[in-house]
Amino acid sequence: MKYYSTNNRRHLVSLKEAVIQGMPSDHGLYMPENIPDVDKNFIRNISDFSFHEISFSIAKLLIDNEIPDQILHSIIEDALNFQTPVVELEKGLKILELFHGPTLAFKDVGARFMARVMSYFLRNTKNELNIIVATSGDTGSAVANGFYKVDGINVIILYPSGKISKIQEKQIVTLGENITSLEVDGTFDDCQKLVKKALTDQDIKKSIDLTTANSINISRIIPQTFYYFNAFSQLNEQEKNNLVISVPSGNFGNLFAGILAKKMGLPVYKFIAATNINDVIPEYLKSGIFTPRNSIATISNAMDVGNPSNFVRILDLYKNNYVKIKNDISGYAFDDIETRKAIKKIYEKYEYVTDSHSAIAYLGLLKYLRNHPEISCGIFLETAHPAKFKSIVEKEISTEIQIPARLEKFLEYPKLSKPLKNNFSDLKQLLLSR
């Protein structure tokens, strides 16, 4: 399997090159040259397979022998040492829980897989690899912990000052060792712009080996397809018909992974792009016009993105066909007041505690289901443990949330981050000094 740039389909590279480069020099994003078809018999019998077996089968199609089967098996078993269960709230309404990894967020799936794939590709290299990441919350913690103390790899994480939860920040800024955290005076979009400029700056490229672990990197996207197939495997035969999945969306890597799974043959009838008031994609789905803008801070901070990178992948996958995109994706946006009410409603109705991001996915799914009674099953994604947004959630449910031990330990450690102005020259100087 070769991978091309969204800005130049003739720019083909191996998976290794795509992963190590992170982003093409032409500022595009890497995409698989072909969308492989999953065997229909595999889909028909998918409930007979384990999460690891499903993941291996899908990974093998996208990686196409660039990693030996035995090594790929080991990577998957080591990276995905936790489950992604589907939990039923009521008949036809389910939650896909993606917070059972070490940092209690869905991004553990992508970050842990990516760290092991990179380590394999760098096994015969003496040069150190530097990974630069922009985060609106959970990416930073997942990447920091996924790459912590990995030989030959340094990680630089940029996060917007005061715009992520305290627990998210502590998971990023307390590790030290090979993890450098930079507290940027700006928004997530500012952090993302700095990262993209660094990845394509010629002076930096000549001086150090630099890549990214954001969902810009295709090795973050590949494993995120696994849990969509795994969720489907947990449904009964009736629920597998006319399935709708609602995804809380910020930078749109998670939604793109689901759509990629659908294009490979996963029978999902519709995806819901559920956003907070940073609603550039729901607005696009109404008008056909994509208008990026500055992001606005909300209580669902990981979704505070005004110019989602992975939307170009969605456009590329559909060859910019607006009608086909609308056939597969519906989009809805909700404000903080609606989000808070949803957290409370889910708790009171189902005794289930959800975080502020997943509450938006719930709202998006409900809005779609009200107008489509023919749908047999709807799933919304629970992307982070509610303890990561403790103060927000507790206020709505009037109940204390127990912080898991592996999360609580971060609160005891000192903050090691460095301040960084929203200025590329300062970041460039820091990177060149390495």
Q: Which of 40-49, 341-350, 367-376 has the lowest mean pLDDT?
A: 367-376
% of the chain exceeding 90 in pLDDT: 77
CA distances from 5 to 32, 72, 313, 383, 424 (A): 9, 25, 10, 29, 24
Q: Residue 272 and residue 367: Cα distance in Å, rounded?
A: 10
pLDDT at 43: 97
Residue 277 reports pLDDT greater than 80: yes
pLDDT digits (tens, 9 = 90+) for 174-231: 998 999 999 999 998 899 899 989 998 999 989 999 988 878 899 999 999 999 999 9
pTM reported for the whole predicted model: 0.90
Cβ atoms < 10 Å from Cβ of 236: 9
Q: Where are the beta strands (DSSP E) in 291-344?
A: 329-333
Residue 434 reports pLDDT greater than 80: no
Q: What is the DSSP letter of 290?
A: -
pLDDT at 155: 94
Contacts of 176 (CB under 8 A, 6+ apart): 416
Cβ atoms < 10 Å from Cβ of 383: 28
Residue whose C-alpha is closest to residue 159's, from 176, 178, 182: 182
**Bridge-partner residues for 5, per DSSP?**
8, 30
**Domains of the chain, earliest start first:** 83-105+220-397 (3.40.50.1100)
pLDDT digits (tens, 9 = 90+) for 104-138: 999 999 999 998 999 899 888 878 889 999 987 77
pLDDT at 302: 87
pLDDT digits (tens, 9 = 90+) for 302-345: 899 999 999 999 999 999 999 999 999 999 999 999 999 999 99
**Catalytic machinery residues:** 107
